[in-house]
């Protein structure tokens, strides 16, 4: 959850997976929220809509959805527990177009028996798409869950696997 609201800026941008609400504090992106996302956060009371503050992020998202960008260069602030932040940091290390299992992610954060905890942290990722939680799948190759919905996960994975991406 964002801290005191006076410095929280937000905007909503259109995307192929629906409207995305972006929130930032002190120049750092804190949230990218999809419409009807599980564990969604809304801009707190007293936040300020500022479309201009997000032009760089919006441009990078446009490039990503056009298949022209494979990594993001966005200043972020990931607020969560130490374990959640370790998981989210590892998510950023999964290369574009690749997937790993929840078990592999648990191994990468140093706790190979924590697949379930990794899945819970993955589901609480505050900056979807940019912190690519969609790249984590079940060990049997099935998609597993996704806070943004299975259709969006499929869309993102297909985007990253398509020729020319």
What CATH number is attached to the domain comprising 20? 3.30.160.70
> Do 91 and 153 lie in a common domain?
yes
Domain end call among 65, 90, 109:
65
Active-site annotation holds for 133: yes
pLDDT the model gives residue 76: 97
55-87 tens-digit pLDDT: 999 999 999 999 999 999 999 999 999 999 999
Which of 87, 131, 133, 157 is the catalytic position? 133
Please tell me the distance from the alpha carbon of residue 69 to that of residue 54, in angstroms, as a whole number. Answer: 17
Four-residue CA torsion sign, 58, 158, 93, 2 = positive
> Do 44 and 100 lie in a common domain?
no
Please tell me the distance from the alpha carbon of residue 91 to that of residue 17, in angstroms, as a whole number. Answer: 20
Q: Closest by alpha carbon to 128, among 73, 80, 88?
A: 88
Please tell me the distance from the alpha carbon of residue 21 to that of residue 40, in angstroms, as a whole number. Answer: 10
pLDDT the model gives residue 43: 86
Range of the domain at 55: 5-65
């Amino acid at each position: 959850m964002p801290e005191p609201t006076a410095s929280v800026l937000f905007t909503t941008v259109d995307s192929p997976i629906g409207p995305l609400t972006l929130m930032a504090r002190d120049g750092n992106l804190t949230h990218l929220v999809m419409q009807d996302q599980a564990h969604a956060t809304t801009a707190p009371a007293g936040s300020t809509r500022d479309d201009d503050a997000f032009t760089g992020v919006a441009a990078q998202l446009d490039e990503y959805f056009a298949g022209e960008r494979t990594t993001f260069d966005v200043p972020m602030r990931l607020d969560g527990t130490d374990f959640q932040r370790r998981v989210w940091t590892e998510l950023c290390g999964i290369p574009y177009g690749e997937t790993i299992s929840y078990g592999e992610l648990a191994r990468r954060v140093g706790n190979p028996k924590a697949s379930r905890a990794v899945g819970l942290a993955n589901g609480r990722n505050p900056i979807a798409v940019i912190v690519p939680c969609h790249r984590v799948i079940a060990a049997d190759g099935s998609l597993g869950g996704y806070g943004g919905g299975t259709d969006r996960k499929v869309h993102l994975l297909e985007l990253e696997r398509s020729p020319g991406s």
